[in-house]
Structure 1
Amino acid sequence: MEKLELKYLQCLAELYPSIAKASTEIINLQSILNLPKATEHFLTDIHGEYEAFSHVLKNGSGAVRRKINEVFGHTLDEREKKSLATLIYYPKEKMEVVKKSRENMEDWYMITLYRLIEVCKRVASKYTRSKVRKALPEDFAYVIEELITEKPDLVDKEAYYDEIVHTIIEIGRAEVFIIALSELIQRLVVDHLHILGDIYDRGPGPQHIMDKLTSYHSLDIQWGNHDILWMGAAVGQRSCIATVIRICARYGNLDILEDGYGINLLPLATFALATYKNDPCECFKIKGTDVYNPAETELNMKMHKAISIIQFKLEGQLLTRHKEYKMSDRRLLDKIDYEAGTMELDGKTYALIDKNFPTIDPKKPFELTEEETAIMERLVTAFTDCEKLQQHMMLLLNKGGLYKTFNGNLLYHGCVPLNDDGSLMTVEIYGKKYKGKALYDVLDTYVRKAFFALNPVEREKGKDILWYIWSGPGSPLFGKSKMATLERYFLKEPETHKEVKNAYYGMLENDTVVNSILQEFGLDPEHGHIINGHVPVHHMSGESPVKCSGKLLVIDGGFSKAYQKETGIAGYTLIFNSFGLILAAHEPFTSAENAIAQETDIVSDSILVKRVAKRMVVGDTDNGKALKERIDELKQLLDAYRSGLIKEK
């Protein structure tokens, strides 16, 4: 036996110090391998829409309703099933509604408790007793375990369970017990959550989404371009900070920064009011909201313009520092003739629709004024010192990455940059060339350097690459020729707004290309799938989220209300359970109040993407592969004990 192998077995012997303990663990692990594969839930492009996100999380994209159907079949009618589902999603709120229409609640409590117990039994059946026990709410752990565990040796099981339920009602604990059971069902119906990026921007509640994810039992996150932008802001990258504030101003969400993260925007507001006092800032209107009064709207528009000009200056400075990004064409402030009010772009002259630039020196257009410099210094401190923001970014780092391979699926937010012929596009990152998986890996490394590198040069490279990942043409999270932000504000000609997508997006139905991407990331193209976010699926135009005969699934959740007029629905989510892949199409979400009062759900349709011939078990998963490896190691430990190579303790 190799010396290293023996050393490892000796370490393993510390955990399993006898033949009996090692043997018991082998038996336990072998039994887990034969349990049904647990349910995975895939969401993407949440964009700050907390209420819709929370509802989809509660209903498991229809997984809760499927369990109710499995348990009650035709024994409950549709109305009763909807009512039970709504109770599971919003137990406290739903009970308040029920109490208003009933004088005597005891019968309702009794019926409801029994129904919830039956659903609990079904959702718990996929897991070991140990795993279920860990998920049980502390206050009711023993009682719930008694109620959901079959007791074949009990003579009068019905009387036994009746007595427990009657006691719960009699001592006034029915409501809290119903809440506990409902939350347990939500917890067990989905074993693992995948978030494929873009938690931030556009919607009003990304901080609440991050708070929810912080306490979620099992998840991973593939960073989206908007998440990367916030990560850049959190480490003090100035272009990222300015862009974050600009987007919040554009969508009327500055309170995310001020109230959600406690970032003081008063210096920017004061500067904007003074600098653009007589400027109507018509090009900087708020999108997607009408909650502001006229005075607030005017201030928001002025702040919007002020931070946009600062952003364009900072980006010009960054691109001067990093000529290797090959984005000099995005330094646009020096392309403006400030006297004539025109801009030179791609050899053509365009008239500006806003010609007021009081903070720009035409001779040094990328230089911040003293006031702008002071504002940015205070903002850098505010972002880097914000404890809540840093905690949320640590969650993204600890649970996240640019991509993930899991149970035969490749998960990422944007694209794999390709050339026009479908081959992997080579991108230069700080003097070295990368493509495909290697490009993803090096960018992931630099993201972490931005937060953790001790070498100040490497740390600054990491900070700046976060901005490149947000908007660089070679970035797998951007995937376009340019980000035409300045042109959209200042030029009316649509040709100047055009952002050419990477060739990847025209090859989603190309079997050869999709297979090569799966192989590039070490997956079997015969059985693997690509799960892709980032680009809304235009359902209204007849576009399907299922590409390449089901090998590639575009599941932009469409949570962002800004997209729903174009897509026609609120997008897609995905469930991967022991029977296969199920795509759920969603109606736009109105409010939790409507969902409770009208007992409406937002799953409008389910598409079976793939059904397996034989129900999948844990042994068929990545976790199963790891368990099999541990079983083999434990068998080697048993051999070492029996041969006398290692002594039992």
Structure 2
Amino acid sequence: MKTRNYDIEKDLKYLQLLSHTFPTIADASTEIINLQAILNLPKGTEHFLADLHGEYKSFQHVLKNASGNIKRKVNEIFGNDLRESEIRELCTLIYYPKEKLELVKASEPDLEDWYHITIHQLVKVCRDVSSKYTRSKVRKSLPKDFSYIIQELLHERTDDIDKAAYVNVIIETIISTGRADDFIIAISHVIQRLAIDLLHVLGDVYDRGPGAHIIMDVLTNYHNWDIQWGNHDILWMGACAGNDACICNVIRLSLRYANLVTLEEGYGINLIPLATFAMEHYGDDPCEEFMPKINGGSTDIDDKTKRLTALMHKAITIIQFKVEASMIKRHPEWDMQDRLLLECIDYDNATCNISGKPYEMKSCCFPTVNPNAPYELTPDEIILMSKLHHSFTVNEKLHKHIRLLLSHGSLYTIINDNLLFHASVPLNDDGSLKEVELCKGHKYKGRELMNRTEHIIRNAFQNDSDPREKEFSVDYFLYLWCGRNSVLFDKSKMATFERYFLKDKSTYKEEKGNYFKLRNNEEECDAILDAFGVSGQNRHIINGHVPVHVVNGENPIKANGKLMVIDGGFSQAYHEETGIAGYTLVYHSRGFQLVQHEPFTSTEDAILRGSDIKSTTQIVEMSSHRMLVADTDIGRDLKKQIAELEKLLYAYRHGFIKELR
């Protein structure tokens, strides 16, 4: 240890506390050795996903195959020894071990030989993916039943003649005792887990696809992840908090995409009252503009169900406009009065007057709207909203998932010199940070705007919040969803009314905020990174939110590599529009790789035929040296711990603190 002039007396109280954890010179020295060794391990692999939108099968497969990383490792290990078909079979076994084993046992003539060969192969793969971790971390990842056995197999080499027989006997005994299937399943799951060290979800787990609740269940048990909330996540969080406008929007979007699985099966939300109300009040309405958008697995919906879905869709949309209006009027500081369009309808001329200009309506059929009091809920609507409000606010499973988003999530994250957020940082026309009024008289910009907004979000879920502040927080979810200066929206408007009811398509335009116009500028990205305190030579902004239209030649890598947009369209609703089925950004010890995915066929096809998500890998940025843990945020923390332990050693050796023997 280097000789240093420590001011021990200044830190004496802290060092005395530290001495209880490391009571001797030997304990402190051992920990320093351990931490120094960890600093020199390769950096763990980070995976970045965005805009999952309920596509749970694609999401699960990407986790299982680590965005193709597992197959790449299998190719590196066995590329010269196995045929492509054998590599595919081995990979499928790793992804879906239980299901693949059933097929193998039904067709393999010499099962014992297959077990012997396959277990040896899996151990080699597991040894490779575990090589960048400490033995302690690997041990914590192992299943209890096979922890000792896997450790022995990982740390013994078959090319050592003295150990080859030892390893072979272990494997033969696994097979002879009837534990081969269980062992294969266990070690395959270990490989999956170790292939991804940290998962970042850049928002929008919810809406459009059928399995947002399943994704949340997967994340509940996932080993290491965080999320930067997206606008669709915030919508569901607002609904859970009791914001009636968010409740209406959640239901409307589910009906729009004929996707009621998450609502009804996932969370048990009862929509029968809405169906009954819709049939009674909208039964004579054609509701042509409210027919659901059919994508992917929803093509088998029959005409009768489509018709009922359209009735419910229109009914909840009208209630949404009414509920939103009361919140907008309650908060004039939001400057959203131009969204109050029910009062602008001229029923005699079938037009809607916006900014003094009449626009022709597609329909003027509003059976539950009183032209003299357009935002007043009818008695039946009040009863219906009371039931829906109750269903969302007391829903145990939804609350569990929202608590998970709160505990693992934030509006933005800074990690390893990367700034992660879902959508936007509001900017002025000249690119400077825009001040946004959050509540009357209080304006914030940039990082402080994000921090204050997150405080409002969390305040909505705290029992000890001031009642008036909590009421504002619950209301504010609507602004976050569609307010023009919201960090999760940042557009001129959300043209919901216009798309449903106006013929002139020019009214549908939602002009993007300045961030989306200027983010391809490298200097602008650097200014934002500076404002958020992100340092480092290779710093980046990573976003989701806006689908990248690859089919039109758009590049997800912007600002000369400073910014990466990884919403490639996991949602089936976007596939035709984007031309692909999502991106995964992989950040490993060699640098960044962007993986572009084609649509996933099915889990069944992957198991039966070994099909995988077809992916194209684009190298974004490679490091000049292999990055180590020392180069990461964790490494910086470990260096601080080492420095404190060195102070403790000095204090022990110079008599400031006595060893606790």
Bin the TM-score by the shorter chain: over 0.9
SS of match in other structure, 1:156: helix
What letter is aligned with 1:619? A
| Correspondence for 1:242 | 248
Alpha-carbon offset, residue 498 of structure 1: 0.4
Given that 1:515 and 1:525 are in contact with CA atoms closer than 8 Å, whether structure 2 keeps it comes out as no
1:251 lines up with 2:260 in the alignment: no
Could you tell me how far 1:186 is from its partner in structure 2?
0.2
What residue in structure 1 maps to residue 115 of structure 2? 109
* Partners of 2:313 and 2:415 in 1: CA distance: 41
2:315 aligned residue: 306
Alpha carbons 1:519, 1:525 under 8 Å: kept: no
Secondary structure in 2 aligned to 1:405? strand
Aligned residue among 195, 198, 208 for 1:192:
198
Q: Quick one: which amino acid aligns to residue 612 of structure 1?
A: S
Correspondence for 1:412 among 421, 427, 447 = 421
CA distance in 1, matches of 2:19, 2:395: 45
**Alignment match of 1:175 (pick from 173, 178, 181):** 181
What is the CA–CA distance in structure 1 between the aligned matches of 2:534 and 2:361, rounded to whole Å?
50
Report the more deviating stretch, 210-219 or 451-460.
Answer: 451-460
- Map of 1:32-71 to 2, 5 A cutoff? 32-71=38-77
| Residue of structure 1 equivalent to 2:639 | 628
| Superposed displacement of residue 153, structure 1 | 12
CA distance in 1, matches of 2:110, 2:76: 30
Residue 432 to residue 142, structure 1, CA distance change in 2 (3 Å) = same
Larger mean CA deviation between 92-101 and 460-469 belongs to 92-101
| Distance (Å, rounded) in 2 between the aligned partners of 1:631 and 1:644 | 20
How much does 1:280 deviate?
2.0
Q: Which deviates more from structure 2 when the two are superposed, residues 451-460 or residues 211-220?
A: 451-460
The range that moved more, 153-162 or 434-443, is 153-162
Counterpart Cα distance in 2 of 1:245 and 1:503: 31
Q: Which range is displaced more, 208-217 or 248-257?
A: 248-257
Matched, 1:377 2:406: no
Match of 1:212 in 2: 218
Aligned to 1:584: 595
Give the residue type in structure 2 aligned to 1:440. M
Contact 2:417 2:536 in 1 (8 A): no
CA contact (8 A) 1:239 1:314 kept: yes
Shift of 1:508: 2.6
Determine if the alignment matches structure 1 residue 445 to structure 2 residue 455. yes
Indicate conservation of the 8 Å contact 2:68/2:615, yes or no: no
Three-state SS of the structure 1 residue aligned to 2:461 is helix
**Secondary structure at the residue paired with 2:500?**
helix
Stretch of structure 1 that moved more, 384-393 or 98-107: 98-107
| Shift in Å, 1:439 | 1.2
Q: Partner residue of 1:484?
A: 495
AA of the residue aligned to 2:522: D
> How many matched pairs?
649
For 1:266, the equivalent position in structure 2 comes to 272
- Answering whether residue 567 of structure 2 is matched by residue 538 of structure 1, we say no
Amino acid in structure 1 at the alignment position of 2:138: V
Cα shift at 1:16: 1.6
Contact 1:48 1:199 in 2 (8 A): yes
Counterpart for residue 22 of structure 2:
16
Mean CA deviation greater in 281-290 or 68-77:
68-77
2:339 maps to 330
Indicate the residue corresponding to 1:616 in structure 2: 627
User: Bigger shift: 603-612 or 1-10?
Assistant: 1-10
Asked whether 1:496 is paired with 2:507, we answer: yes
SS at match of 1:575: strand
Shift of 1:254: 2.0
- Structure 1 residue 428 and structure 2 residue 460: aligned? no
> C-alpha separation between the residues in 2 aligned to 1:640 and 1:150?
41
- Distance in 2 (CA, whole Å) between partners of 1:16 and 1:458 is 46
Q: Deviations over 1:547-591 (max 9, x none)?
A: 122111110141101111011111211000000001001001121
Given candidates 106, 109, 118, the residue that maps to 1:100 is 106
**1:517-560, Cα deviation, whole Å (9 max, x unpaired):** 11111113741011110111111111111112211111014110
Q: Aligned equivalents of 2:605 and 2:520: distance in 1?
A: 39
- 1:296-336 per-residue CA deviation (whole Å, 9 max, x = no partner) reads 22221111111100100011100000001111111111111
Tell me which of 257, 278, 282 is aligned to 1:276.
Answer: 282
Label 1:153 to 1:204 Cα distance change in 2 as closer, same or farther (>3 A): closer
**Which residue matches 1:135?**
141
Confirm whether residue 26 of structure 1 aligns to residue 32 of structure 2. yes
**Contact 2:360/2:504, CA 8 A, preserved across alignment:** no
* Cα displacement (A) at 1:643: 2.8
* Alpha-carbon distance in 2 for matches of 1:41, 1:256: 25
Provide the C-alpha distance between the structure 2 equivalents of 1:501 and 1:647, rounded to a whole number of angstroms: 64
Helix, strand or coil: the match of 1:263? coil
**Does structure 1 retain, via aligned residues, the 8 Å contact 2:419–2:541?**
yes
Return the offset for 1:2. 8.1
TM-score (norm 1): 0.97
The alignment-based identity, stated in percent, is 55
> Residue 554 in 1 paired to residue 560 in 2?
no
SS of the equivalent of 2:460 reads: helix
Question: 1:222 and 1:618 mapped to 2: Cα distance?
Answer: 23
Contact kept, 8 Å, 1:46 with 1:560, in 2: the verdict is yes
Which letter maps to 1:166?
E
Give SS of 1:451's match: coil
CA distance in 2, matches of 1:611, 1:596: 34
Distance in structure 2 (CA, Å) of the matches to 1:318 and 1:533: 28
Q: Structure 1 residues 3, 344: closer, same or farther in 2, change over 3 A?
A: farther
Residue 352, structure 1, aligned to residue 358, structure 2: no
CA distance in structure 1 between the partners assigned to 2:317 and 2:228 by the alignment: 28
Inter-CA distance 298–171: structure 2 relative to 1 (3 Å threshold): same
Range moving further from structure 2, 106-115 or 517-526? 517-526
TM-score by length of 2: 0.96
Q: Give 2:132's match in structure 1, choosing from 119, 126, 129.
A: 126
**Alpha-carbon offset, residue 3 of structure 1:** 7.4
Aligned to 2:3: none
Question: 2:516 corresponds to which residue?
Answer: 505
1:292 to 288, 301, 310: 301
Letter in 1 for 2:452: V
1:390 to 384, 387, 399: 399
| Residue deviations 1:136-173 (CA, integer Å, cap 9, x gap) | 01111111111111369976211111111111111221
- Inter-partner Cα distance in structure 2 for 1:526 and 1:132: 31
Distance (Å, rounded) in 2 between the aligned partners of 1:85 and 1:576:
22
Quote the residue 2:4 is aligned against. none
| Separation (CA, whole Å) in 2 of partners of 1:72 and 1:552 | 36
Instruction: State the AA in 2 paired with 1:509.
Output: N
Of the structure 1 ranges 570-579 and 202-211, higher mean CA displacement relative to structure 2 is found in 570-579
Report the CA distance between 1:265 and its aligned residue. 1.5
Q: What is the match of residue 208 of structure 2?
A: 202
Q: Extract unaligned runs of 5+ from structure 2.
A: 1-6
Aligned counterparts of 1:37 and 1:316: Cα–Cα separation in 2: 51
Q: How much does 1:483 deviate?
A: 0.3
Check conservation: 1:584, 1:603, Cα contact below 8 A: no
